Structure 1
Amino acid sequence: MLSTTAQQCPFVPGGEAGGAEAGRARRAESNEGQPTLSFEKNTPYVDYAGIDTLLGLQRPRTAEPAESAFIIATQVMELLFSLVRERWEAARDALEADDVPGALAWLRRACNAQDVLNDSWGLLADMTPTEFNRFRDSFGEASGFQSYGYRKLEFLLGNKSAAMIRPHKAMAGVANELADVLERPGLYDAALRLLHRRGLPVPADRVERDWTQDYEPSAGVEAAWTAVYADDKPGNDLFLLAEALLDVAERVTRWRHRHLVAVKRTMGAKPGSGGSNGLTWLSRNAEQDVFPELWSLRSSV
């Protein structure tokens, strides 16, 4: 015999989920299929997603219309940094747990988020240098270089540097979060450790090392990946992992190039607001391969 709760929730017997589903069905029936139009307070949509708070964060400092697009694009990117990070961390943790199918699923989801992230540069694609000049002084020394959300992504990719935590030292919580990512294996480190556990010749100094140090290319790692590519059958999960990682790496490179082009278009070779030399800094970063051995092996296989 069904429990009292189950009898009250015929759509999904038992549990709170069934009760919620039954409630939605009753509302739809009462509304004759039309959306609810009357609420005593904020709409549930506004409360759930914090829409009032979100829109209240767009506070241009000048009358230049392009500044609104700049702020919105920046905020969209920050939200997407967080989503990409969550998915890369989930993929890393799956690899550490020997769950390659799970890691592949998270990497696919990360790539979807990266595609949206890269497309967000389109919000700034039509900004002219004169428009940018009319509000640039208003943000002073603010620079995307200071984004701790983006810095977490770089750390997860293996671009480690304790000095990059320094700009956030006055933000104790943020500095601690960055230090945690700095001190743990990154996404690529987790993949190499998995290869080692599978019996591939990954050098010992890539299996256990000082994770706070920047990743450096290794001929031994390239040899291990080359062995993976020697068996490119669809059933080889390590081959699928290699290609999924390269999908991630390629999208990172696209992001960097789009950043470079956006800056070149809006301000040319002027110094950056955060103290860098602008285009030179970005060009150097754009030329740096992510997961380098997955690129270099293509010259020899």
Structure 2
Amino acid sequence: MTDAYDPAKDGAQMSFDGRMSYTDYLGLDAVLDAQHPLSSAHDELLFIVQHQTSELWMRLALHELHAARATLSGAEIRPAFKMLARVSRIFEQLNSAWDVLRTMTPSDYTTFRETLGQSSGFQSAQYREIEFLLGNRNSAMVKPHAHRPDLMGRLEAEMEKPSLYDCALMRLAQVVAVPEDALSRDRTKPHQPDEGVQAAWAEVYRDPSRYWDLYELAEKLVDLEDYFRRWRFNHVTTVERVIGLKRGTGGTGGVSYLKRMLEVELFPDLWHLRTKL
């Protein structure tokens, strides 16, 4: 009879008394003890894990987006392309997570929905920061965080900074003419389509070999928004499948609110110019 395989004989570390282990490094005790269902409903754990893991992915997305913005303001912009590509992949992961949540039926959700109180994904400070960083800014969206000065301060500070797209436009302006109004716009407002900006990007798209870095930057931004739009669409579909047209726990119109968000364009010029090429 063959003896059971012993990894220690091949050099695997088996003793961690006083040494860093996998659980220690990842802080898994805290992470895996952070799920506290308030009901006995079977599916409440699914709901909690879905949203907690989404927040972890969003934390990484913010890490990458902040770094990408800083890189676009530096001498060499190409390292930002990998960061933006990673954010697109993060939203692909977030998209796949809806498939898991959609295994929860309306009957399942009603067994614990009341335990949520007024809590809602609408109140996610990290999601709001991602939107602000990408340029979709609305001061009214800071209000749900008034009870948390730390979160409110972070969002207000973000509103004062150039968005990721603002930084892209500043790089574009170093090479081709960009309207001054677009460069000195009110940063607290969302980006609006601009014919002059579209003409500037169109110059890049008509001669990719000459403006390759800007061309690739533009496509990385379009990729990011493409995945972001898919995430929003899957959010709407999942919510409608689970609660129909009921109002959301946070007081929004639920599906009607989410459908309105589908119309938001993060980088409108990069989409509108395609019609003119």
Q: Secondary structure at the match of 1:100?
A: coil
Aligned to 1:191: 168
Q: Does 1:279 align with 2:255?
A: yes
1:90-128 per-position Cα deviation (integer Å, ceiling 9, x unaligned):
111111114221111211222222221221212202110
Relative CO higher for 1 or 2, CA cutoff 8 Å, sep ≥ 6?
A: 2
Shift of 1:36: 2.4
Matched residue type, 1:228: V
Which residue of 91, 103, 110 corresponds with 1:133? Answer: 110
Question: 2:95–2:231: 8 Å Cα contact kept in structure 1?
Answer: yes
1:48-106 per-position Cα deviation (integer Å, ceiling 9, x unaligned):
11111111111111111111111000000001111111111111111111422111121
Which residue of 154, 161, 165 corresponds with 2:142? Answer: 165
Task: Compare 123-132 and 211-220 and name the one that shifted more.
Answer: 211-220
Task: Compare 167-176 and 125-134 and name the one that shifted more.
Answer: 167-176
Question: 1:169–1:175: 8 Å Cα contact kept in structure 2?
Answer: yes
Alignment of 1:1-301 (within 5 A): 31-40=8-17, 44-198=21-175, 200-233=176-209, 236-301=212-277
| Mapped partners of 1:259, 1:127: distance in 2 | 14
| Mapped partners of 2:83, 2:16: distance in 1 | 38
Matched residue type, 1:229: Y
TM-score, normalised via structure 1 length: 0.86
Question: 1:156–1:181: 8 Å Cα contact kept in structure 2?
Answer: yes
1:238-296 per-position Cα deviation (integer Å, ceiling 9, x unaligned):
11111111000101101100100110110010011111111111001012222111111
| Mapped partners of 2:31, 2:212: distance in 1 | 45
Aligned length: 271
Question: 1:94–1:103: 8 Å Cα contact kept in structure 2?
Answer: yes
| Mapped partners of 2:210, 2:101: distance in 1 | 40
Q: 1:240 to 1:265 in 2, by over 3 A?
A: same
Matched residue type, 2:262: A
| Mapped partners of 1:265, 1:236: distance in 2 | 43
Q: Secondary structure at the match of 1:126?
A: coil
Q: Secondary structure at the match of 2:157?
A: helix
Q: 1:178 to 1:99 in 2, by over 3 A?
A: same
Aligned to 2:4: none
Question: 1:128–1:266: 8 Å Cα contact kept in structure 2?
Answer: yes
| Mapped partners of 1:115, 1:76: distance in 2 | 13
| Mapped partners of 1:235, 1:161: distance in 2 | 33
Q: 1:66 to 1:42 in 2, by over 3 A?
A: farther
Question: 1:253–1:290: 8 Å Cα contact kept in structure 2?
Answer: no
Matched residue type, 1:268: G
| Mapped partners of 1:110, 1:234: distance in 2 | 27
Question: 2:191–2:266: 8 Å Cα contact kept in structure 1?
Answer: no
| Mapped partners of 2:44, 2:19: distance in 1 | 29
Matched residue type, 1:204: E
Gaps in structure 1 of 5+ consecutive residues: 1-30
Higher Cα Rg, which structure: 1
When the two chains are superposed, the root-mean-square deviation of aligned CA atoms in Å is: 1.8
| Mapped partners of 1:162, 1:228: distance in 2 | 33
| Mapped partners of 1:286, 1:213: distance in 2 | 18
Aligned to 1:27: none
Task: Compare 129-138 and 209-218 and name the one that shifted more.
Answer: 209-218
